[in-house]
Amino acid sequence: MSATANELEVQSLTKYFPVGGSLVRRAKVHAVDDVSFVLQPGTITALVGESGSGKSTVARLLAKLYQPTDGRVVFDGRDLARTRRRRDLLRYRSQVQMIFQDPFGSLNPAKTVRHHLARPLRIHKIVPSAQIDARIEELLDTVGLTPAAKYAAKYPHELSGGQRQRVAIARALAVEPRVVVADEPISMLDVSIRIGILNLMADLKNEHGLSFLYVTHDLASARYVADDILVMYAGQIVEQGPAEQVLREPLHPYTRLLLASVPDPAIGDREPIEVRKGLATAAVDPPAGCRFVGRCPLAIDICSSVTPQLVEAHPHQSARCHVTAPAPAIREESHV
């Protein structure tokens, strides 16, 4: 296998949704606009941003719940955004699994835990029928639901939220995926059990070499569990790099604003943040220029006319900002 066999690469992924407007000229939400990143094996990549930033749309595009407007999702050297062949789709789905936010809605209340785990094993022919029960117990052990035999017989309503989320993770693992897309997997869980789910993700990464795309709005949990971080704003990635580095020395003003907003009792008297003026509708038919310009304390003239590109301003750390991550030579087309 080639060196890139295990990684998932997203290239210029774009998704527009039509909204309002007239029939002739419908406005479009640029929910995901030219998003590129690579998921390396054995790493957790956090995708953070506010609601409406497009982070869940990225997750759904990866899970093939939506067709992208443009761009590629390359897995094992093949572009899977375009494939229509059932065999390729099945293969992709067995390699890239998704965990959803709501563990109450993602399990069938009429079926036992065993049923939920046996189905993917059968559909994807992971193990011979005779070994299904043994494999189910292994899976439940892996996600910390022991004694496994007892949990296998339970129905979703007999489980707590955290236990249900563990079942959802076990189900995702059943098909032996290499990539797991987890969309806000802890935000609906009680605070005391959130860490357990994050620890489980870290263990699966370390022990099984899985790679995760961890979609979240919670910067502290992203820092806790992720190796790399992608910050989205209005459909675009505005900053990316190693999680610890980005959160210690954020480049983009939006990342800075997010960080300054997170409650942290370790900080005594904090600087008040500026109350925003712009609105998060920046992704509807966006004009040229930076989408954050209306809220940005650092904005200069060029920001409202030229769309900034992702520029690697520090080693491995890139940002989409004319001020903190200027392009090496801004071409003389700023008047366009």
Which residues make up the interface to other proteins (CB under 8 A)?
50-51, 160, 162, 190-196, 198-199, 217, 219-221, 223-224, 244, 247, 257-267, 272-273, 275-276, 279-280
Which ranges in the chain belong to alpha helices (H)? Answer: 55-62, 86-95, 113-123, 132-142, 148-152, 161-174, 191-208, 219-225, 243-248, 253-261
Beta carbon of residue 51, minimum distance to other proteins (angstroms, whole number): 6
Which residue, 168 or 198, is less far from other proteins as judged by CB? Answer: 198
Specify whether the backbone of 76 is left (phi greater than 0), alpha (psi in -120 to 50) or beta: left
Which residue, 8 or 186, is less far from other proteins as judged by CB? Answer: 186
Spatial strand order of the sheet with 70-75 comes to 27-39, 8-19, 70-75, 78-79
Which residue, 38 or 280, is less far from other proteins as judged by CB? Answer: 280
Beta carbon of residue 242, minimum distance to other proteins (angstroms, whole number): 12
Structure tokens that stand for 265 in this block: 């009792």
Beta carbon of residue 279, minimum distance to other proteins (angstroms, whole number): 7
Beta carbon of residue 17, minimum distance to other proteins (angstroms, whole number): 19
d(CA 35, CA 68): 11
Beta carbon of residue 128, minimum distance to other proteins (angstroms, whole number): 36
Distance in Å from the first CA to the final CA of the chain: 46
Helix (H, G, I), strand (E, B) or coil at 247: helix
Which residue, 262 or 327, is less far from other proteins as judged by CB? Answer: 262
d(CA 222, CA 100): 17
Which residue, 191 or 336, is less far from other proteins as judged by CB? Answer: 191
